Amino acid sequence: MSNIVVILGQKNPASKINDQESQEAADRVGGINLRFVDNQQTFDEVVEQCQGAMMLLPRGGYEHLVKLVEKVGTIKLVQTSSAGTDWIDKSALAELGVNVANNGGANAVAVAEHAIGLMFSMYRKFDVQIESAKSGTWMAGVTGDRGEFHTLVGKKVGIIGLGRIGSRVAKRLAGWECELVYYDVIEHDDEYVAATGAKKVDLDELISTCDVITLHVPHDRVTEHMMSHREFEMMKSTAILINTCRGPVVDENALIRALESKEIFGAGLDVTEIEPIEPDNPLLTMDNVIITPHLATKAIESEWNAAQFTMDNAGRIVRGEDPEWIVKPV
């Protein structure tokens, strides 16, 4: 079995740091021949430099990914340094006998913390408070009825997707005196669920009874627009929606209508259907919406973890073991 792992990406100061971290992680695992290939070269040049590779780690999108894998012929795994793999044609790669793996939860803690931060910010209008102080109006710019400001104590938080991120949201909220429930299509074992402190309920019950709904699912054909008109009509008028997974999981037009008609109280979003968000998107000017620019993962610890986890998977292949964190086509 080859021990060549190709990191395919652009050459810039940021990638130089990431490449160094990956090299250090590969050295810790041992037995890995790491090769860095600039994806700005011609396709033929990229193919030539990927010869003999058994694993490909693309940094960012590469439009010829499937064609590259087919042309090289020796690649067994396409490994991402991110949690999401929706930008990869997993079905086409599966036909070539090539698996796709994600980062094994490298950024799970950062995203979980970000989701809770959005909950807290929505309930206390933290963004408005900061902006009012910075603009020189002190507390005069912090508007809203007193009933719009809350703590999380006693609130029912519904977690859709109790995987690596959702479970960490639950564990971190355990000390916040919330009621935690979850829904997942995956059947987790009893010990795993017990450690989260969350109770399983069906999806409609979660949507209709929770004060906070936080989304932690992959984006695929099953989860596309899983939150749409029907779901927003079911939600409590005082409820807030948190989305730190993928924008298309939420039907944005339905969300805008629900916010405008006050079917729900607000939304905290790190992701949108179109990114960067279009300047004329109504969500940007709504007082009951907080938007961050898809940076929930942005923490140095996420990058350290991603470098190590991806090289750990490379090591498994080199040793003839099965890689972990495989994402199947849906």
pLDDT in tens, the chain (330 residues): 689 999 999 988 878 899 999 999 999 999 999 999 999 999 999 999 999 999 999 998 899 999 999 999 999 999 999 998 999 999 999 999 999 999 999 999 999 999 999 999 999 999 999 999 999 999 999 999 999 999 999 999 999 999 999 999 999 999 999 999 999 999 999 999 999 999 999 999 999 999 999 999 999 999 999 999 999 999 999 999 999 999 999 999 999 999 999 999 999 999 999 999 999 999 999 999 999 999 999 999 999 999 999 999 999 999 999 999 999 998
Check residue 1 and give its pLDDT: 64
- How far is Cα 322 from Cα 98, in angstroms, rounded to an integer? 12
Tell me the catalytic residues: 246, 275, 294
The CATH fold assigned to 108-291 is Rossmann fold (3.40.50)
The pTM assigned to this predicted structure is: 0.94
Judge whether 37 and 59 are in contact, CB under 8 Å: no
- Across the beta sheet with 199-200, the strand order is 199-200, 179-183, 156-160, 212-215, 240-243, 266-269, 289-291
132: which residues sit within 8 A by CB, 6+ positions away? 138, 139, 140, 141, 142
Paired tokens of 24 = 């250090």
- How far is Cα 283 from Cα 264, in angstroms, rounded to an integer? 14
Domain 4-106+299-318 has CATH 3.40.50.720: yes
Listed by start position, the domains of the chain span 4-106+299-318, 108-291
Same fold flag, 4-106+299-318 and 108-291: yes
Paired tokens of 316 = 């498994």
